[in-house]
Every structure is written in C-alpha cells, then in structure tokens.
Structure 1
Amino acid sequence: MNHLTSKLLGLLYILPLVFAVPASQTPLSVGILDPYPDKPKITFREDGSFKITVLSDLHFGENPWDDWGPEQDRKSLVLLRRVFREEQPDYVVINGDLVTGENTFKHNATLLIDQIIGPINEAGMPFSSIHGNHDNQRNISHMQEIQRELKVAKRTYTRAAPKGIGGEGGEGNYWVPIYKCTDDRIPVLILWFFDSRGGESLGENSRPVEDWVHPSVAKWIRSEVKAMKDAWGSMENVGALGFVHIPPFLVRSLQANLNSTVSPGLNADHMGDGSSQREGKDQAFWHALTTFIPNLQALVSGHDHGNEWCARERKKGVVFCFAKHSGHGGYGKPDWGFGVRNVVFEQFDTTSTFKTWIRMEDGEKKAILNIDAAFDP
C-alpha cells in the first residue's frame, strides 16, 4: 500500500464523523453515537454541577378571542423570564402541554411555539420539549410543534423519533447526551424523552389518540441502549433521567401510600382523572424503562397540575417525580400556585444522588429533597 492510498483510506474512515447526516437521520449503527453532530456538546459546569429546570403544562393559546387567554400567556412569560434570570439553568425541559390545542385557533396555533421559546432564545440556553395530550388536538399536533420548534430555535435538542417508533401522535421519543467536558467521547448523563401521546388527531374529523407510550418505544429503548454499550463499553458511570408527560399507569399506586414528610409538596390532584389510560397498556414501556436503561435516577412527569411530589416505586426502585404547573393557562386552584422543578447533579455524580426542589413564581423554594439510595418513602 503506497502513501497516497493509505491517506485516502484514512480519510474515508473519518468522513462519516465529519460530514454527518442530520440528527434525525443519523444511524447509530455506523458508529456515530452523538445524535447531534451539528450542535455544540452540552457539558457540566467546571465545578461539576449541572442544573435542569423543568417547565410543565404551560397551556398557551387559551381563549384567543378575548382578553383572558392572552393575559394568562403574558403572565406565563413573566414567570419564565424571571425563572431563567434567577435560576440560570444549564438546560431547560418543557414537559408537555405547551399549547391547549382544542381551544386555540388553527390558523396560527404553531406561532404560540414562538412565544414559548422566546424567553429561552433570549437567555441562550439549550433545551428540549416533549408534548402532552393537549398538544394533540384538532388544531395542533406533536409533529407540528416539533417542526416549528426546530425552525425557530437554534439551541433546541428536540427531535423526532425514527419512523415507526411512537405510534400515532407519538413522534417525540429521543435522547440527549450530556458530557463532562467537550473533549469527552462518552457522556456522563443521558436525558431520555418519551411521548405519551393522548388527545385527538389533527383535523375536523378528529378521533381520540391513545394516551400512553406506544409499545414500539420499548424495543427502541433496548436497541438504543445496545448501541450505546457497543460504542462506549461499560455505562457504569453514565446516569440517566427520564421525562414523560402523562404518568405511567403503574406509578398511580404511589399516591395512596404517600408519606408527606418524606415526599413533601402539593398533593391535590388525583392521578388519572381525565385520562382514558388503561391498566397494562404502557407495561412494555415501563418494563423497558426500568430494566434496560442503566442508572435511571428518576422519571419526571407533568399532566396533573395539583401534584409536585417525588416518591420511589418499590418494585423497580425507580424514583418518580411530578414537575410543577408552570403556565397560568390550564386548570388549577388559586392556592396551587405556579412554578418549576429544578434538578441538580453535583461533583459530576449522575449515578447515585441528585438534588431537586420546586421553585415557585415568587422565588420560594419548597419540597426540597436530596435523592439517593436512602430516599425510601
């Protein structure tokens, strides 16, 4: 082999890593395990910490024909700007029900995404979205919201699942790697995002959409974790955090035996109200989530506006947390208030402990928890 041939072969080896296809089309099987080759790596701070601020149930776009609805959205934007300014998160998660799709106008529904993303764009923070039952309605769909977000936000890491994964109305299944530093090949944290669907199909002849994570996601989880292990080897030091809008059916039993001392926070909403979710429908997802994802620290849900607690599911040992109703739209009661959930990892430790709390609109911190192996309500 002459020198020129050797150089050409070497160039062919590195070309897939340099000239990568778009994230949504990147096949993990060819050895490119970073699904965002065209975006900056998200990293921990130099002091070893990483803060995630979780928004949930913003419910923009209600009553666009009068003054009440737009005023609620204005209040929500004030909350977002204040939280971002004072919390300075490293990453933002929007945990479903961005828009009340059955209540807004169809002709400009996607422009509500521009409003929601505005404060995040202003702050220049990386973020991701998942979508809820109100984001699938006759005037809006999950895919429309994903496409709009990708168009108006440079720092979004939201992406659509591969074709055939997620079922009807459930396109938002993906994961985001978080690294210790930009030079690292292997992340220290994986953020997993799952689409629980729900609501109705788009259009005038809309029909109900199943409100649980589709069984195809279970197979996808197994294949993605296998690809990670094939590329990275041991995942012993790689933590994971999951997000889904509608709580899995099997965590409903936690509420009946909740210890408010160990699991502080508002507990005013009966889990499952207003949902057609039936027992066993998301069992394949729950099994894959709790069996195959290494070092899963917690699963965070929204949907129930009056809940903001964390508890450990005993059978699988997974911590389940509610986010906090963040938007002034959507149902609620005056004493419930509005806020966000913060999750903080420290000392680059993503596999054994994290801190979390609810931060209210006025800056109050409540339901403060150190989640570790001893957390056992």
Structure 2
Amino acid sequence: MRLSSIAVSGLLHLVHAAPFLQRPLSRNLDLDPYGGKPRITFRPDGTFKLTVFSDLHFGENPWDDWGPEQDANSTRVLKRVLGDEEPDYVVLNGDLITGENTFKENVTSLIDEIVGPLNDVKVPFSSTHGNHDNQINITHLEEILYEQKVAPLSYTRLAPRGVGGSEGPGNYWVPVYRHATDDSPVLVLWFFDSRGGVSPNPNSTLVPDWVDASVATWIESETRAMESAWGPTTKRAALAFVHIPPYSIQVLQSTLDAKKNPGLNADLLEGDGAVQATYSSGTLGNDKPFWDSLTKNVKNLHAIISGHDHGNEWCAREPTKDVIFCFDKHSGYGGYGQPEWGYGVRNIHFTSPDPTHGVETWIRLEEGETRARIMLDHAYGR
C-alpha cells in the first residue's frame, strides 16, 4: 500500500542527511534486509496492485532533437500511468537506459529522470536491469547504487558476493506483508539479473545473456531458510521478474491461441538474443540451472514476468514446469517498435492476500485503454 506521509517524510530526511546504500544480503539469510525502510503491505481491504514498466530506454540519441523528445514522451507515460493507476508498488523491469547511446559524464542523470515521477508520488519500487543497461559507459551495479542514492523508496538491492556472475549483481527479493506488524510475509517478489550487453571500457567484451548458475544455488538456500523462519511455503505467494525471458519460453510462441493467450504477439522469439542464453550456439540453454531452481523451489509462483521483446504482451503456461509466463508491455518511446503497438504497462492486482487466490493481470495503454485481461490461477492455460 502507499506509505504514510510521516514515514516517507522521515525516510526522505534520513536519505538526504546521509545517503543510505542498502547492504547486500549475506549468505546467512537476513529476514529484515531493509533495515529502517517501511514494510510493504497489502491495503487494509486486502488488495495489492503492482504496475510494471518495462524497456523505458531513456537516453537514446542525446545528440539530436529526436532522443530527448522520446525521453519526454516516456516521462509523460510514467506520470500519467502513475497518476491514473495509483499502484501500491512499481516494478521497472529492465532496459531503463539505452546505454550504448550515453556518455559517461551524464549517464546517471537519466536515472534521475526515471525515478523522478516515482519519487514525486512516493511509491515504493524495484528495478531489474537488461542488456542495454550493461554498456561501455554504464553497468547494472552503477545503476543500482545510484538509484539507491537518489530514490528513498527504492527497494532494489545487491546480491550477496559471489551470486550473479559477471555483471549480474541484481538478484534479490522483497517481502510483502498483510500487516506491517506480521511476523512473516504473504507475498515474496523475486528479482533476477539476466545480464547481457557488454562490459565497460576498456576492452569491452560480451556479457553472458542469462541468469548465472550461481543464482540457482542461492534460490535454493534462500527458500529453505524462508521456510525455516516463516513456516510452510503454502502460506505465501510469489511473483518473479527478470528482463530477458528464459530460454524455455521460446517454444511457447508456436502454441499460442488468441483467445487463451490474448495480447500483442508481434515479436518472434527466434534468433540471437530474443530469449536468454542465445547469443551464440554454444550458449543455448545456459540458463537451465536458474530455470530449474526457480520453478522447483519458489512455490505458489503466480507468474514469471519479462520484457525485452517489445512487440509481445501475452501470457502462457509452460507445461514442463507447469508455470505461467507473461510478457510486460513496452513502456518507453525509446527502443525499437511500431506506433501501432502502443506504449503502456502491465498491471497485476491481488484481490486477497490468500496465496491460493487467483491474481488478475492486464495491459493498460498510455491513453487508458485496457486489453489482454486474464486471471493467473490454477485453471489458466490448461
């Protein structure tokens, strides 16, 4: 839910007085990883609404008029959607910046532009990062640290040392409680770093475009400790966010049905880079340890949600693991696309904190039109 003005005011004062960089989780599970930050909770009526922005792609072509115009348009989308939807939590699901177009001396100013509307409405949020966020003049680590510095209500964190692989530090989770005084959460939001892009100068090289295998072991240890501390996994639900879709999603596209899987389906998932672990024939399926661990260890997983492929906004059930996958909606005017695709967000609405209840999700376009409304529940996609 929205945080009280007193809590936010106090937090803003704390951050402005001394910037607070959240510590990464240790390998010994920290069940209160946010220290003095307010707990994220459901609303008093038992509902909880997330709004997911994806592929904002700020910073394209800063040397001409076109690029700044796209950033202004994307800022308009952010402000309008936040004002209309009034979400309890926001997710920025990767490719915040088109890093290959940016300059070292001003790249972090783009983070100021992105988080400004979120700061204005005082909504808590988390970020994942994409292949365009790892470029010669910017890295995922730099974006995370700067976001933590300038956004008091950012819940983005760093993974423990040794988790995430090269250029993939953004693996973490956020607990969501029914009431702020509860001992255990009713929902856990998981965020994973699918890396990709290139390493910073000098001597830039390609960064692997999949969630590193070290994350698989981390998921197992985190979920085991959660169960020990919080009780059976049946007591809480989960959502997972990762920018590049897992490799196993590629085969779903050929099975889509417009009635069962509504939403734009304009981006083929074939070829290099469309899904994880496909930038060369030798890397195919290298995200399997992550995929297997996520689908095995995270229970009551309502959906795995990705961006990256701007022309897709559908959901489908992956049959081998029996999990639902959903695409986001391309939110930013930057990045590739077609005008008829539109720009918008994916909304996710919990009507109950009961983890067995279905969750409603739909696409909302910039001007307010909605489409592709489905229920993420046991019956979906069967």
Amino acid at match of 1:339: G
Name the residue aligned to 1:7: none
Name the residue aligned to 1:9: none
Amino acid at match of 2:348: V
Q: Please give the secondary structure, in 2, of the residue aligned with 1:75.
A: helix
Name the residue aligned to 1:295: 300
Q: Please give the secondary structure, in 1, of the residue aligned with 2:100.
A: coil
Number of residue pairs matched by the alignment:
356
Contact 1:22 1:38 in 2 (8 A): no
1:1-377 alignment runs, 5 A limit: 23-27=22-26, 29=28, 32-275=30-273, 276-277=278-279, 278-376=283-381
Amino acid at match of 1:142: H
Name the residue aligned to 1:8: none
Q: Offset at 1:370?
A: 1.3
Distance 1:233 1:217, change over 3 A: same
Distance 1:39 1:327, change over 3 A: same
User: 2-side partners of 1:26 and 1:74: how far apart?
Assistant: 36
**For 1:205-250, what per-residue CA distance to the aligned partner results, in whole angstroms no more than 9, with x for missing partners?**
2110000000000000001001101111212120000000000001
Q: Offset at 1:272?
A: 4.3
User: 1-side partners of 2:260 and 2:235: how far apart?
Assistant: 28
Amino acid at match of 2:353: F
Q: Please give the secondary structure, in 2, of the residue aligned with 1:115.
A: helix
**For 1:309-342, what per-residue CA distance to the aligned partner results, in whole angstroms no more than 9, with x for missing partners?**
0000011110000000000000001111100000
TM-score (norm: length of structure 2): 0.91
Q: Please give the secondary structure, in 2, of the residue aligned with 1:72.
A: helix
Whose radius of gyration is greater, 1 or 2? 1
**For 1:46-101, what per-residue CA distance to the aligned partner results, in whole angstroms no more than 9, with x for missing partners?**
11110000000000000001110000000000110000000000000000000000
Amino acid at match of 1:70: P
TM-score (norm: length of structure 1): 0.92
Name the residue aligned to 2:6: none
Amino acid at match of 1:316: K
Q: Which runs of 4+ in 1 moved over 6 A?
A: none
Q: Please give the secondary structure, in 2, of the residue aligned with 1:212.
A: coil
Structure 2 stretches lacking a partner, 5+ long: 1-19
User: 1-side partners of 2:25 and 2:292: how far apart?
Assistant: 26
User: 2-side partners of 1:251 and 1:85: how far apart?
Assistant: 33
Amino acid at match of 1:330: G
Q: Offset at 1:37?
A: 2.0
**For 1:81-139, what per-residue CA distance to the aligned partner results, in whole angstroms no more than 9, with x for missing partners?**
00000000000000000000001212111110010000000010000000000000111
Amino acid at match of 1:281: N
Contact 1:28 1:227 in 2 (8 A): no
Range that drifts further, 224-233 or 174-183: 224-233
Contact 2:176 2:186 in 1 (8 A): yes
Q: Offset at 1:23?
A: 4.7
User: 1-side partners of 2:300 and 2:350: how far apart?
Assistant: 14
User: 2-side partners of 1:230 and 1:372: how far apart?
Assistant: 26
Q: Please give the secondary structure, in 1, of the residue aligned with 2:28.
A: helix
Contact 2:187 2:236 in 1 (8 A): yes
Amino acid at match of 1:323: D
